[in-house]
Structure 1
Amino acid sequence: MEKEVLNFEEAAEFLEISTKTLNQILKDEDIPARKIGREWRFSKHALLDWLGRGSSKDYFKNQTISRFEETRKGKTENLIFHAKEILDIISRERSITIENRRFDFPEDVEMEVKIKKRTDTIKFELEFEWQTDEKGEIESEE
């Protein structure tokens, strides 16, 4: 008899995602799940139904994603100083101009910073994400 109720790890495996991704989905989306005591439980049928109702258009419809990526070679201390300058500008001015394009940041902007070290290169990547309404204006929570 096939199992109908899945624990956390089994649900991640069933959806073919990592447990880290499933944990993020639990926080960010409305996935069918029930917490019983300290354990999460998932219905296979409900997960398939939830997956089938999703639409990529719904996800991207109201979202603006802006990315700034720059790769530089040089001494580590110079690269760290450059990265700090960028973050200081954003912190101070709540905006930054990149390639003649100005990005204004709302209060609730989510930011991801990645620094990747290669043999002779450090890749410094900033990614910013925030929700907008259909007119492109920042949504406010009232």
Structure 2
Amino acid sequence: MLLNDKYEDMGRMYSLFRRVANGLVTVRDVVTLHLREMGKQLVTDPEKSKDPVEFVQRLLDERDKYDKIINMAFNNDKTFQNELNSSFEYFLNLNTRSPEFISLFVDDKLRKGLKGVGEEDVDLILFLIR
């Protein structure tokens, strides 16, 4: 469901598992495992690390995707949001060049004047810098 953007199905699953003791813990653990594996593949693939700007943009796109999933399917549940933040922190730290790539990405965007970049994207970029 995560791979195929099945928001409605995930929303129904969230509603059902919410009724079961520790049900959401199980769902959250599966989502976290998926996020970490997906992120690990992204940041450790040498082919994807050739262009720092594209590397960070790919991460931002994934972040947008999972923010949307949490918002639409998981009722913007804060525990899922915290796991998303934790997972991104985890796999960004797997690539020792992540800080450099983020810096180059921000530099590239500032040089281009952030044209066409929305306020939410700027906030997300600044979140990654922290």
Between the two structures, name the one with larger relative contact order (CA 8 Å, sep ≥ 6): 2
Of Structure 1 and Structure 2, which has the larger fraction of its residues in helix? 2
TM range (shorter): under 0.3
Structure-1-length-normalised TM-score: 0.25
TM-score by length of 2: 0.27
More strand by share: 1
